[in-house]
Structure 1
Amino acid sequence: MDRPTFSHPLDITNPLFPVGDLQSVIQVGTVEGKLFRSETTRLPQTGVVDWYGTRVPVVLSQYVAYLDGRIEEVAVDRYAQADDGSVWYFGEDVIDYQHGGAYFTEGTWLAGRDGPPAMLMPAHPELGDVFRVENVLGVVFEELSVVEVDKTVKGPTGPVTGAIVVDELGVDGTHSRKTLAPGYGEFLTKNRTELEAMAVATPTNAVPGGAPPALRHIYTAAWGTWEFARGDSWNSAKLSVDQIATAVSDLAEGNQPFRPMRLLQRSLTKLHAAVGGRDVRVTEEAAARVAQSAVDLEAQYLTSQEVERFRFHLHTMVLRQAAAAHRPADVNGEVAVLELLRARLELPADQATVMDRELTALRTAVDARNLLSAADVTARLGFLALDQG
């Protein structure tokens, strides 16, 4: 293969890997029986990779994966589109998390330092095409073979045509089936132990006209239910759950992305049972999942920066939950999440200064295991996240 040229590498328009246009992608599923969720977000800044004397500007994309609501893996990926329309992978920085702390960086590589870039997606993939999307000896390996083309798949709100299916061969010799769809890119990954499926992507699934009021009611009432449960006000908690149920019923009458909607309904059922059984711990977990699904659904209606602010606020609430329950590992993990979310936010200078100062104070409090102080700082950060100035 001839060495590709990159005249306009940041203009990534390949429909089967449209990372240049996508602002945020949410996937959900299960991994080894645990609930899986990931966010892939194009970062505001770009990068440059020196590929043996050629400096190639690259799009930076942040990937964050959660298992059972706890941070599991973070990666910052580097992409560029060649002049022929193919998309190339220029490396990734990977951090795995355990018990809330970073502990492993296996899989990190950089084109030009560790090996050549790899082609992620041909301009016009055909049946039988084989390409290696990662291939650094002793570090990473992943080979894709196109096994189906022109496939129609069930999208978040309707059918999507023109998808392809590839067989994915990993470094350990295992195989997975991966579907890639126009407007979405990686759409569905499935093997014996895991399922990662598209929930909602913006702007592909963007809906004009503003969010249904029911979504904000659900989000607010979810946290209210948790606060009532903490205060042993179970009658008030039940009334709050009833309000959520009414809002979810109203929401279900519209054409909402089916996977986050299904998760919302399941979490609501769990929340109702937890409140009925007066179980504070399960109420806490279910309330957070209800709130998460509300934010995922609201992403269709918000700008990218608005949804990042709500995600930031959500994780301040999850951190406060963990601090109230005296779970330092979970608190530490949520601090890491807030620091990652901060990288996605574009803030006015004065607001950025305040947020960065408070995040530093939060990290100091957590490192000192002062959870009371951490909760106090987190409350201020939550208000700051939603302050549009």
Structure 2
Amino acid sequence: MSAQWHCRWLGAAAVAAAAALAACGSNTAAPASSSSATQAGSPTAGASARAPLTIADPYQPRIDPAAFTTTIDNPYFPLVPGTRIIYEADTAGGRSRTVTEVTRDTKTVMGVATVVVHDIVTLNGKTTEDTLDWYAQDRDGNVWYFGEDTKAFEDGQADPTGSFEAGVAGALPGIVMPGNPQIGDAYRQEYAKGIAEDTGTVHSLTGAETTPLTGPANDLLVIQDADQLDPTSPAEHKYYARGIGLVLTQNITGPAEREQAVTIEKF
């Protein structure tokens, strides 16, 4: 699953936030048919009761298409169509650049209309990954991840490993951003057994970091991501700024890599 602005970026962020708020008047989700917050540790889309999010088996999220909208205005994960965010990092292999575009396209997955986000990753100017991600928001503000069509490029070959679509071959959607994150919340971000099993845990609501877009900030949401399929892979802390989204990804184990948002554009 792929990534997501101090004086220089405030104007752009305000435009994006205004656009998100303006969009709230349309595509509003109808109430979900269930009011239970969890079932065997699994979330229910649009549940009205707030219970701590936990990772448990069996994972059986209940998805009611009527509970979702393509207006994604979660303050920590706003997806405004026509917005492009660029991230950069110095890695062992060279300079990495990720361009994340919130497209104006939608895709229906499990009966849910989702927003299509396009990520292109380059290393030293050469494309290494090209991914389409699918997101939707439930009526309680939780942003769900419904899958991805991803290709990694090496030696001229495209490798689709990691691609999955919720509702196909047992794959299920997960929550990429809670509507009301609380420290200790733990949740599946995606679930395709043996293919994609990332999880997230809310680590802090007052993360302190400095990025090119935010300058010094001490009110960042910090989520620790982990890959359940590879316990030896580096764990990450992802820093989210309210009204902006993801501004920094930093390894907390393994190679000391730091990927940060450097600019936001409209297209």
- TM-score where L is the length of structure 1: 0.48
Distance 1:112 1:136, change over 3 A: same
Do residues 132 (structure 1) and 200 (structure 2) align?
A: no
Aligned counterpart, 1:3:
44
Structure 1 or 2, whichever has the larger Rg, is: 1
Aligned counterpart, 2:222:
165
Q: Residue type of the partner of 2:151?
A: I
Distance 2:157 2:74 in 1: 34
Aligned counterpart, 1:65:
121
Distance 1:157 1:84 in 2: 27
Distance 1:124 1:72, change over 3 A: same
**Given the alignment, which residue of 28, 48, 56 partners 2:108?**
48
Aligned counterpart, 2:53:
none
SS for the counterpart of 1:117 is: strand
- Across the aligned residues of Structure 1 and Structure 2, the Cα RMSD in angstroms comes to 1.9
1:1-389 to structure 2, matched below 5 A, reads 1=38, 2-5=43-46, 6-20=66-80, 23-49=83-109, 51=110, 55-99=111-155, 101-114=156-169, 115-155=171-211, 156=213, 158-160=215-217, 162-170=219-227, 171-173=229-231, 174=233, 175-191=235-251, 192-193=254-255, 194-202=257-265, 303-304=266-267
Distance 2:237 2:214 in 1: 22
Distance 1:177 1:122 in 2: 16
Q: Between the two proteins, what is the percent identity of the paired residues?
A: 29
CA displacement at 1:201 relative to structure 2: 2.2
Distance 2:247 2:88 in 1: 11
1:131 touches 1:144 (CA, 8 Å); kept in 2?
yes
SS for the counterpart of 2:72 is: coil
Distance 1:142 1:56 in 2: 21
Distance 1:157 1:121, change over 3 A: closer
Distance 1:161 1:11 in 2: 28
| Structure richer in helix, relative to its length | 1
Q: Which runs of 5+ in 1 are unaligned?
A: 203-302, 305-389
| Structure richer in strand, relative to its length | 2
Distance 2:88 2:142 in 1: 27
Between the two structures, name the one with larger relative contact order (CA 8 Å, sep ≥ 6).
2
1:15 touches 1:182 (CA, 8 Å); kept in 2?
yes
2:86 touches 2:262 (CA, 8 Å); kept in 1?
yes
CA displacement at 1:24 relative to structure 2: 0.6
Aligned counterpart, 2:13:
none
Aligned residues: 199
Q: Which runs of 5+ in 2 are unaligned?
A: 1-37, 47-65
Distance 1:153 1:196 in 2: 13
